[in-house]
């Protein structure tokens, strides 16, 4: 199998599994890869070939861009080898490549406690803004998902998330009963058409009012911190990781969910030991 053939198979797969922006990003890699190595068979491509290709492709680019191209190239080989059952190892796993293009160690972000999140929400006097905060902090929605909600997306205690980050056509998010009741009451006052947005504001506007609410209680807070809090709060209350991942955050990989969860302090660890063994 030539690399060009592998690229076409992977592109066909992406049409049903990846977002349009993701396909566009891969397109730049594929175009250059086809020109330089398209006619070469996969099993004859060495790690050195790919190293030289990536160095040429990312010359003068930011390190984050170089890491992205490496990750995309690695994904292409992983997919092709697995899908076609090829008897070969992924050349992208070579130490030279993995070391050169490895991602920096992620810093553990501070998780904001429940009391602080509650205070931020309770200080919010505007009904619309408070609902936005709760949909993120209680239901785990991304800020983009909240702002994209249409009136027809809300049914009972469920929310339809259209064109989600996963690349699916849609996903379903869930609300506690009290949250759903407040949202229904708000909708009744807005007289929206089914296709109208529930929260017709921009990301910058949402980010600004969330920052101001955080400043009022002397913390730095961004929209995504609310989603991160929802996951950690669920975890600290004994909700299984699989439920947090698949239901609350709607992640495709448990590893992604684990990155969201804050570190457990010594006091927290001791408290859970007492809970586990009934003190």
pLDDT tens digit sequence for 143-198: 999 999 999 999 999 999 998 877 677 899 999 999 999 999 999 999 999 999 99
How high is the pLDDT of residue 196?
A: 96
The arithmetic mean of pLDDT across residues 78-85, rounded, is: 92
Residues 128 and 160 in one domain: yes
For the stretch 95-109, pLDDT in tens is 989 899 887 665 556
How high is the pLDDT of residue 197?
A: 96
How high is the pLDDT of residue 250?
A: 87
The arithmetic mean of pLDDT across residues 65-92, rounded, is: 92
More confident position, 108 or 243: 243
State the CATH number of the domain containing residue 158: 1.10.443.10
Residue 89 in any domain: the answer is yes
- How many structural domains does the chain have? 2
Residue 107 in any domain: the answer is no
At residue 159, the 3 state secondary structure works out as strand
Q: How many CB atoms lie within 10 A of CB 190?
A: 12
Residues 199 and 127 in one domain: yes
Residues 166 and 222 in one domain: yes
Residues 191 and 144 in one domain: yes
Residues 16 and 143 in one domain: no
Q: Is the pLDDT of residue 223 over 90?
A: yes
Q: Is the pLDDT of residue 207 over 90?
A: yes
Residues 122 and 257 in one domain: yes
Q: What angle do CA 33, 34, 39 make, to 5 degrees?
A: 120
Domain end marker among 73, 100, 127: 100
The arithmetic mean of pLDDT across residues 243-257, rounded, is: 81
Residues 62 and 130 in one domain: no
Q: Is the pLDDT of residue 267 over 90?
A: no
Residues 125 and 233 in one domain: yes
The arithmetic mean of pLDDT across residues 215-235, rounded, is: 90
Residues 86 and 171 in one domain: no
How high is the pLDDT of residue 236?
A: 81
Q: Is the pLDDT of residue 220 over 60?
A: yes
More confident position, 205 or 106: 205
Q: Is the pLDDT of residue 264 over 70?
A: no
How high is the pLDDT of residue 209?
A: 95
**Angle between helix 127-137 and helix 203-216 axes, rounded to 10 deg:** 90
Residue 108 in any domain: the answer is no
Q: Looking at 18-22, 170-174, 180-184, 205-209, which range is the least confident one?
A: 18-22
Residues 27 and 91 in one domain: yes
How high is the pLDDT of residue 273?
A: 64
pTM, whole model, 2 decimals?
0.63
Half-sphere exposure of 274 (CA within 13 A, CB side): 7
Report d(CA 244, CA 186) in Å as an integer: 27
> Minimal CA–CA distance to 70: which of 88, 49, 54?
54
Residues 152 and 265 in one domain: yes
Residues 83 and 142 in one domain: no
Percent of the chain with pLDDT strictly greater than 90? 64
The stretches of the chain forming alpha helices (DSSP H) are 3-17, 20-37, 47-57, 63-84, 95-100, 114-123, 127-137, 143-148, 177-190, 203-216, 223-236, 241-243, 254-260, 266-276
Q: Is the pLDDT of residue 20 over 60?
A: yes
Domain that holds residue 119: 114-276
Residue 109 in any domain: the answer is no
State the CATH number of the domain containing residue 40: 1.10.150
């Amino acid at each position: 199998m030539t690399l060009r053939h592998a690229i076409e198979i992977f592109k066909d797969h992406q049409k049903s599994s990846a977002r349009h922006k993701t396909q566009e990003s891969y397109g730049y890699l594929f175009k250059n890869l086809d020109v330089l190595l398209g006619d070469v068979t996969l099993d004859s491509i060495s790690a050195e070939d790919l190293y030289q290709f990536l160095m040429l492709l990312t010359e003068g680019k930011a390190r984050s861009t170089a890491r992205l191209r490496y990750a995309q190239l690695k994904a292409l080989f992983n997919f092709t080898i697995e899908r076609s059952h090829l008897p070969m190892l992924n050349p992208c796993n070579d130490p030279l490549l993995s070391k050169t293009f490895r991602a920096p160690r992620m810093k553990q972000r501070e998780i904001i406690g429940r009391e602080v999140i509650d205070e931020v929400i309770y200080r919010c006097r505007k009904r619309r803004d408070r609902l936005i905060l709760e949909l993120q902090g209680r239901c785990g929605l991304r800020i983009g998902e909240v702002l994209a909600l249409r009136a027809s997306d809300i049914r009972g205690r469920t929310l339809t998330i259209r064109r989600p980050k996963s690349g699916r056509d849609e996903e379903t998010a869930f609300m506690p009963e009290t949250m759903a009741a407040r949202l229904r009451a708000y909708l009744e006052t807005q007289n929206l058409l089914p296709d109208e947005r529930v929260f017709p504001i921009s990301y910058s506007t949402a980010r600004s009012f969330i920052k101001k609410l955080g400043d009022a209680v002397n913390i730095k807070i961004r929209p995504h911190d609310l989603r991160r809090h929802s996951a950690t709060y669920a975890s600290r209350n004994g909700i299984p990781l699989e439920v947090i991942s698949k239901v609350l955050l709607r992640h495709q990989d448990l590893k992604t969910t684990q990155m969201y969860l804050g570190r457990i302090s010594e006091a927290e660890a001791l408290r859970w030991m007492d809970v586990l063994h009934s003190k």
